[in-house]
Amino acid sequence: MVVVRRRWFQAPWEFREAFLVTAMVIVAGFFVEYLGAGGGIPLLHLPVNAIALVIFALMVLGAGLAFRNSAVVQWLGGIPLGLALIFAIAVLSLIGGIVPQGDAVAGSLSAMLRINQIFSSWPFFLTVLFFLANLGLGLSWKLFPFSMKNLQFILFHAGFWLALSCGIFGSTDLQRFVVPIEIGKANNLGYSMNSDTPQQLPFSIFLQNFSLEEYPPQLLLYDPQNDKLLVERSQAIIQVRKGVTASWKGVEVEVVDYLSYALRGSDGEPQAADRKAGMPFAKVRISSGGAPFEAWISTGSPMLKPEAADLGGILLIMVPGSPKSFNSAVSIQGENGEQKTATLGVNQPLSFSGWKLYQMGYDEKMGKWSQLSLIEVIRDPWLPAVYLGLFMIMAGNILFFWNGIKHSEVA
Amino acid sequence: MVIDFNTAAILAMVCWTIGSLLDLLSRKSAALKLPAFLIAFGGTMVMVAYIAIYWSFLGRPPLRTLGETRLWYAALIPLAGFLVEYRWKISWLKYYCMALAGFFLVINLLHPEVFDKTLMPALQSPWFIPHVVVYLVGYVLLAASSVAALHNVSLQLRSKKNDAGETAAHYLALLGFVLLTFGLIFGALWAKEAWGHYWTWDPKETWAFLSWLAYLGYLHAFRYKIDRGKLQWYLALSFIVLLVCWFGVNYLPSAQNSVHTYTQS
Ligand code: HEM
């Protein structure tokens, strides 16, 4: 039997041509990157990037509609090229998922080819452009003439087109700055990673208060000779509360009293104190072989040393719990007089005239005594378009789930 | 706690083993069919009960560490197997599923974790549970799909064809893809609220995107009428990407500055 094999570039084009062209796109991208010494793609800002994107979209739609019978255009908008491009994006993401992203030695091959910042490199950008062209051509054929039957296809593919194109083209307009503020002061200067000079913001933030709540402190055994914490694997971490008991090899500990905010009084006994000054104190009863004894231990604070109980060479210590929540009470004053007072927390950002404010951090050395709050401010004018795309994909997803199940009834 | 992990894990594995053996014997005597199912299902119920007890003990959902998510896989993967048997009358998938669940439990037995009841602020979000649960179920279905595909590949190597098995692998992959898509988008919406940007090409995000792309590729290849038999290889191998997402990411050089390293241990 003679198997007739299609020769290279003999119509109709399919996978071989798709993978070849895609490989050429990537190689060309790396070549351009090399010529520009790893400078990456030019950073266009609004409105130039938006205009470029609209022109690109119109060209793709126009080409799809005008040349829908051309074999080459059909191939350009077909699944074989789509698969090759999906594969290409996967390979480039794989590089980005394995090679640490960030700074590399200037002049090294990795920096020249921008492998250390692959997602803003020419090969990635060119692949995305081809991906958008391929996806856009397919869309043009399903959009015109419109039919309800194509709804799922349109939601998925147009949603992805929007989210991907606006995410990539709009990434240059993303502004994010960190604003450090001390309690009782205001700041309108934002700092960013890639610049030493602070940026003047169109509003100023006044920090009324910063508060941090911790999980209960933990009891641990510490070996000062070897500077080692003695933690048993598979042991529950002991959170200090009144009445909690713990036992390690030969040591029994019971917490007989616990004060979350206390200081030693004039008689030496710990007494409840206010939240700002006090620190956790626990009265523990310890039996380890000999007669049981009681002792007060504390976590310490930036001002006062921690107190531990000596078990003959080994110390029973109390370490502060991890942060449970931290919040900044702020009032914001805009350039043109708008004002807002609110409390910021992790996962509780605040919107203010096109910006979003996030509780980012604090002075970690000071812990809950921190006088400083780090607030991140972010502006992303392209966000609504990206979100529209994401919601379209989710709508398509629901249809797909529904139809997939319905199909299986037939199968 | 009323029951500790070692007891629950061993009890579940014993149930699965006895249930599977009885199920194999039930090919000879049909009366064993029901007890076999009840015992195997009981093993899964032990894990479900253990998760419930553990949840109330911790005072937060046990979804924070890798070890905790393995508990969910161990409970849910056999359930996927039972559902496939019920829906498509395919009985062999559940054996593989129970074996895979046992594998997850053994890892946890060998690497006991320090119980930590705390939940860092970034995880205290209404998105936390939907995001992780959708991903868990998605990965469970895709694992079942890969297992089905592996079985189909081994049949093909012995020159047998299994149409029902290929259909099952396909629909499991399709449902898994739907859930992966939701998981990815929920993650993006949550990241915007918690960290300020919806996508930062963090290694964990990148690998989640890669596994999504793998199944996107599968669905389009399927649509293009690529021979379904050949695609079984593809589905079986996609499991490797899933494994990297589950365990591997933390060990990659790029993970040094991941925001997701809280899942370590
Ligand atoms: C690379 C560019 C892409 C091309 C050329 C492409 C093309 C196609 C085509 C021609 C179909 C078949 C439609 C039909 O027969 O009605 C299809 C189906 C589908 N596409 Fe795409 N697509 C691409 C990317 C994507 C992306 C990025 C997504 C997800 C957001 C997606 C999701 C889907 C889904 C879910 C189906 C249905 C599959 C099924 O019914 O089994 N596609 N695509």
Confidence of residue A150 (pLDDT cuts 50, 70, 90): very high
Instruction: Say yes or no: A187 and A265 in one domain.
Output: no
Tell me the per-residue pLDDT of A84-139, one tens digit each, with 9 for 90 and over: 999 999 999 999 888 888 877 777 888 888 888 899 899 999 999 999 999 999 99
Residue A358: which CATH number? 2.60.98.10
Calpha distance A296→A299 (Å, rounded): 11
Residue A321 sits at φ, ψ, to 5 deg, of -70, 165
Measuring CA to CA, how many Å separate B149 from each of A375, B165, B213?
A: 50, 8, 18
Give the Cα separation of A104 and A97 in Å (integer): 16
Residue A398 falls within a domain, yes or no?
Answer: no
Residue A298: strand, helix, or coil: strand
Q: Is residue A387 included in any domain, yes or no?
A: no
pLDDT band at B218 (very low <50, low <70, confident <90, very high): very high
Say which range, A217-231, A353-367, B112-126, B146-160, has the weakest mean pLDDT: B112-126
Q: Is residue A259 part of a domain?
A: yes
A82 with A209, same domain? no
Give B174→chain A minimum CA distance, Å: 7
Range of the domain at A363: 175-213+324-379
Contact residues, chain B, for A86 at CB < 8 Å? 213, 216-217, 220
Residue B263 pLDDT: 39
Residue A242 lies in a domain: yes
For residue A79, list chain B residues with Cβ-Cβ distance below 8 A: 220-221, 223-224
pLDDT over 90 percentage in chain B: 42
Q: What is the ipTM for the molecules in this complex? A: 0.89
- Shared domain for A183 and A203, answered yes or no, is yes
Strand A372-379's sheet: what is its strand order? A339-345, A323-334, A195-214, A186-192, A175-182, A372-379, A355-362, A350-352
Question: Is the entire prediction scored with pTM above 0.90?
Answer: no
**Is residue A209 domain-shared with residue A340, that is, in the same domain?**
yes
pLDDT at A233 over 70: no
Q: In chain B, which ranges are E strands?
A: none
Is residue A330 a part of any domain in this protein?
A: yes
> Which residue's C-alpha comes closest to atom 29 of ligand 1?
A156
Are residues A232 and A181 both part of a single domain?
no
User: Given a cut of 90, is residue B67 above it in pLDDT?
Assistant: no
Ligand 1, pocket residues at CB < 6 Å: A 79, 82, 85-86, 131, 134-135, 138, 153, 156-157, 160, 393, 400; B 216, 219-220, 222-223
Say whether both A275 and A253 belong to one domain.
Answer: yes
Which pLDDT tens digit goes with each residue over A186-202?
A: 999 999 877 788 999 99
CA dist A282 and A284 (Å) reads: 6
The mean predicted confidence, pLDDT, of chain A is: 89
Q: What is the pLDDT of residues A236-285, one digit of tens each?
A: 677 888 888 888 777 888 999 999 899 998 888 899 888 878 899 999 99
Q: Is A151 part of a structural domain of the chain?
A: no
Interface test with A, best of B254, B258, B260, B261 (most A CBs within 10 A): B254
- The 10s digit of each residue's pLDDT in A62-75 is 999 999 999 999 99
Asked whether residue A20 falls in the same domain as residue A140, the answer is yes
Q: Domain limits of chain B? A: 119-263
Dump pLDDT digits (tens) for B4-14: 888 999 999 99
Q: Distance from the CA of B219 to the center of ligand 1, in angstroms?
A: 8
Is A380 in Cβ contact with B197 (below 8 Å)?
yes
Nearest CA to A92 out of A43, A66, A129, A50 is that of A129
- Report the largest interatomic distance among the alpha carbons of chain B, rounded to a whole angstrom: 61
CA-based nearest residue to B151, from B140, B141, B164: B164
* A165 falls within a domain: no
Tokens 């029901």 correspond to B34
Query: Rounded to whole angstroms, what are the CA distances from A356 to A175, A313, A332, A375, B186?
Result: 10, 53, 12, 10, 19
Confidence class for position A225, pLDDT limits 50, 70, 90? confident
Same domain, yes or no, for A115 and A196?
no
- Please check whether residues A26 and A118 belong to one and the same domain: yes
- The answer to whether A162 and A385 are in contact (CB under 8 A) is yes
- Which pLDDT score, from 0 to 100, does residue A2 have? 57
Distance from CA of A390 to the nearest CA of B (A): 7
The residue in chain A having the minimum alpha-carbon distance to the alpha carbon of residue B4 is: A234
* A29 and A121 inside one domain: yes
Q: How many domains does chain A have?
A: 3
Q: Are residues A251 and A197 in the same domain?
A: no
- Identify whether the C-beta of residue A166 lies closer than 8 Å to the C-beta of residue A177: no
Whether residues A109 and A25 share a domain: the answer is: yes
Among A93, A321, A325, beta carbon nearest to B209: A93
Examine residue A41 and state whether it is found in any structural domain, yes or no. yes
Task: Kindly state the average pLDDT of the residues A313-338.
Answer: 90
Residue A356 bridge partners (DSSP): A351, A378
The whole-angstrom separation of Cα A385 and Cα B68 is: 37
Distance from CA of B99 to the nearest CA of A (A): 25
